[in-house]
Structure 1
Amino acid sequence: MRIYLYLIAGITSALIGWNIGQFFLTDIGLLQSFPEIVLFPCIAISLAIGMVLNEIFISSPTRPKMCLRKAIIPLLIALSLGLIIGLLSGSIAQILFLPFFNIPPVIVRTFGWLLIGVAVGLAEGLTWRWETVEAGDKKRFRQRLIASVGGASLASLIAAILFELVRIFLKEMPKNLSLMEDPIGFSILGLLLGLTFSLTGSPSYLVALRAGSGFEYVSQEFAQVMPKSINLDKGYPSINQLVLSFVSDSTTDKIEEGLSIKLPSKGSLKIGSEKDCDICIPSLGDHVATIEIKSREAILIPHILYFNYIAINGEMLKTKKNITLKHNYLLTFYSPADSENNQENQQLINYEKFFRFVYYNRFFDPQG
């Protein structure tokens, strides 16, 4: 679905920009002798705004009002970059078209399209800082910016080459069809830019766990006033910071409700109360389960002694069979019953004490 949305956004934005440019050129008669100076900025602005808006709404698809609020600064940046670089590319193209330079029009048009791609790539890469807290990682932000600019430049270069091939083909067709070369060419540009950003804009990690019920924050004052209603373990739910980290780039290792845990792309993670567990929750059994992470796949491996303390999407496990996790799966881990109330030393479950995670393998904006 993500790639289709990018492709549609790219084609639509390019055609909107072209139509706006035609409105200024034909209906208003603005700079008809220098069409590139009008057309290139319109295309660049429309594509930049379209790609930025698409990324914002995809990152938080269920909260359109929040998306609109946080889109103000990114859209202003996209508008500015599209206008400035679009005017620059159009002006350079008009200058290079002069007979004095004797430069083939193919090279001039290709260079102009390349600058449009740079404008859109810069807008998409720079505005990402305002779109998600993931951009707080400076290394990740640089990677995203370089990938956006480089990918958009390559896409625009390929689109320019394809556009020239389309021009050659349409010259042999009736005149009505030859008039369609510009919208077809810019549609190709939007299509390739959308495809590029659907790839370069993919999350840097595909697997994550968001802490839910059971990890609520409790102040020390409340814990002292209501000690019986609060589980006062010596420790607290935490992560192994050598392996895991929070999306919010927090320096603490404490797991709290709403925090999302970035998981590695490969490897295995232990969940339980033992100190060597990667996700350590003191109220659980010593080693409740293991999550085995492979390429684009995560498998929950319940421990033979604690599989019946685990629920997937609200359904308690009845066997120790491995579970392949899917996007938005709810993982609930229950605590054993207190030993004081378990005189026969049976494996009893405290259904009132549980810890819940939401599993993601397509990590949307953590702010969403």
Structure 2
Amino acid sequence: MQKRNHLLIFILSVGVFGILNTEMGVIGILPSIAEHYNVSISRAGWLVSLFAIAVAVSGPTMPLLFSGINRKKVMLLVLGVFVVGNVVSIFASNFAVALIARVIPAFFHPVYCSLALTVAADSVSEEEAPKAVSKVFIGVSAGMVIGVPIASFLASAASLEVAMIFFAVVNILVFLATLLFIPSMPVKGRQSYGAQLSVLKKAITWVSIAAVILLNSSVFGVYSYLAEYLKTVTNMYSNSISFMLFMYGGANIIGNVVAGRLLTNHAVRSVAALPFVLGAVYIMLFFFGKLSVPVAVMTLIWGIVAGIGGNINQYLMMSAAPEAPDFANGLFLTSANVGTTLGTAVGGLFISAMGTQYVVIAGLLSLILSTAIILLRHYMLTPAQQSVS
């Protein structure tokens, strides 16, 4: 049973990697796409922005719609849609077709990711659930960080089509692994849509949504401009910037592993400490941003803390609505995307008004607000929930 659970979680992790890789990997090949379809780089960017909008819109609804169907069948459906989208992208003769082939799978993105988190948690005991979920988050981090340089390398070393083939191959392999090795998973004790939607009547659900938005905003409001920060403030060369981005990604994966243990043993303390630790990192970045070595150290710590933060965001939503796990994970995905969009916009405003060095203020403001929300959320918990260390 334990070996089967390990295999299940591994397949889910790789599956999430494949889907996030499809989403984020395109960032590394946008110049090649613009050249291939003879469109501007800003128009090519629609492949990223419209994908993110589709995910944000479908986050609360699609997981809810599929929540009563056999989970294996749903995962195969979503992976199949991504495979078809990937294959169409390889042979797309014009940009409009390529855009459609991207956006349609995007609506199914929250379904698989939500299911992966729910199934991973359900495959182990309640106490071990955070560790299982953290392993799936490794796939999320890897998809967000590793997919970009791999796709960029393949496009430059071979062709744009080869990079697209890479996306397809990963999803095909996960589809086959799911088909062959994951058992049928009928939904037990199926809940009505109304019963799941009723979690929106709880104040703690909305407070948790606000906390997730602000915490994700605090991370991506600064991280979205990390390359620009390293270039203009720290005065690093392009090779050094690439290394720093890789280091951040690797640290993010480490943070996922650490988060599993923290949330298993010290959930409440970990949630309370996150804004203060991340705030300290940003303050150090602000005062020592021109010095390469301190910035490298802070980036490493920042990556670990951000990895922990992603797990904490999911924990906040799940603990607020444990009776509707698929819907709660969908709310988490949408809230996280809203936070990313909000943080990136606010960070851009600070850069335009004050300069790149001051982008950390955007992160600090989100952290101050998130601290107040987390404190409010804590006092809304029952005494038994508050006593969890």
Q: Report the TM-score, using the length of structure 2 for normalisation.
A: 0.28
Greater share of residues in helix: 2
Rg larger in structure: 1
Say which structure, 1 or 2, has more relative contact order (CA 8 Å, 6+ apart): 2
Per the normalisation by structure 1, the TM-score is: 0.29
Structure showing the higher strand proportion among its residues? 1
